Structure 1
């Protein structure tokens, strides 16, 4: 049985995970809608760019932008599923049954999702370079884009992956101990 502060904490966790999944769904929808619009509107955008910046401006790199959107869509999907797994764990904690084999599997999946997100982050940075290089060549006062995507892996996230894998083992062991205890009673 949980006490009142924990109930509020669990409710806040559930609300935050739902909000994050909602934001990720919105981001995915935006990417899916914007991608075809870039293709359809590329000639118009290029014509307006020539009108504003002159004929020396390079055409918009449509394929690079679509590649960037695809990478971003993968990252968004990974985050969406991560928070789905977390919400499922929060639900079992609220029910008073956290040490389940399913939660160990969820934690393990969360670790893999976070590891994949680190790889996606590097790929996303590499995919952004041609787009950022094209955009920075415009030298617009209204446009400020950094082409420094050399950040690589985030050490905190890598540590989180390791922690999640360890927690998965702890939960798996806790579930086994719980089954043994129930079998002896």
Structure 2
């Protein structure tokens, strides 16, 4: 095992802190999404009455299916990212211990790639719901808009490819290390 030097330790510490903060943010995001879904479910009539009072459109019904669709997809995204940052923190821990080329890290990197692919697909799944909410918002006038972009995020696709390649590198590194240990 090779221990990292002081400058690398600061980088690894920053990585650990950031992953913990990101997991905390994802947990908080999940809590807020569940809270909003509950408020929406139990306060629909009150919300619709407020909308009618503010806009004068008593005939507008809140698009619950689209609202819950966006909330559910958002919850799936934050849950996926929570797991992603947990796997990243586990990899950072093995680097801190001086032993990153273990088969578990290759598996973690592969899972992280699949998780990011899932996020990309979930974003696309949210587009139809967001478009329905956009139609609802447009009924209030030009100032109220919701935009939905169904474009593929090329940087996200690049990250997925890099993670899959790194998983192969880590698998190969772990296998080489096992071979080397077997010959000594």
TM-score band w.r.t. shorter chain: over 0.9
The one of 84, 97, 109 equivalent to 2:99 is 97
Aligned to 1:161: 160
CA distance in 2, matches of 1:38, 1:146: 18
Name the SS for the 2:23 alignment partner.
helix
In terms of mean alpha carbon deviation, does 157-166 or 49-58 score higher? 49-58
After the TM superposition, which parts of structure 1 deviate over 4 Å for at least 4 consecutive aligned residues? none
Aligned to 2:175: 176
Asked if the contact 2:130/2:148 (under 8 Å) is kept, the reply is no
Aligned to 2:110: 108
Aligned to 2:88: 86
Asked if the contact 1:133/1:147 (under 8 Å) is kept, the reply is no
Structure 1: give runs of 5+ residues left out of the alignment. Answer: none
CA distance in 2, matches of 1:155, 1:140: 31
Q: CA RMSD in A?
A: 1.4
Query: How many angstroms does 1:148 deviate by?
Result: 4.1
Asked if the contact 1:71/1:124 (under 8 Å) is kept, the reply is yes
Query: How many angstroms does 1:48 deviate by?
Result: 1.3
Asked if the contact 2:137/2:146 (under 8 Å) is kept, the reply is no
Query: How many angstroms does 1:183 deviate by?
Result: 1.2
Aligned to 2:73: 71
CA distance in 1, matches of 2:90, 2:128: 33
TM-score, normalized by length of structure 2? 0.94
- After superposition, the C-alpha distances for 1:13-57 in whole angstroms (9 at most, x for unaligned) are 000000000000000011112102101111011111111111355
Aligned to 1:131: 133
CA distance in 2, matches of 1:57, 1:83: 45
Aligned residues: 182
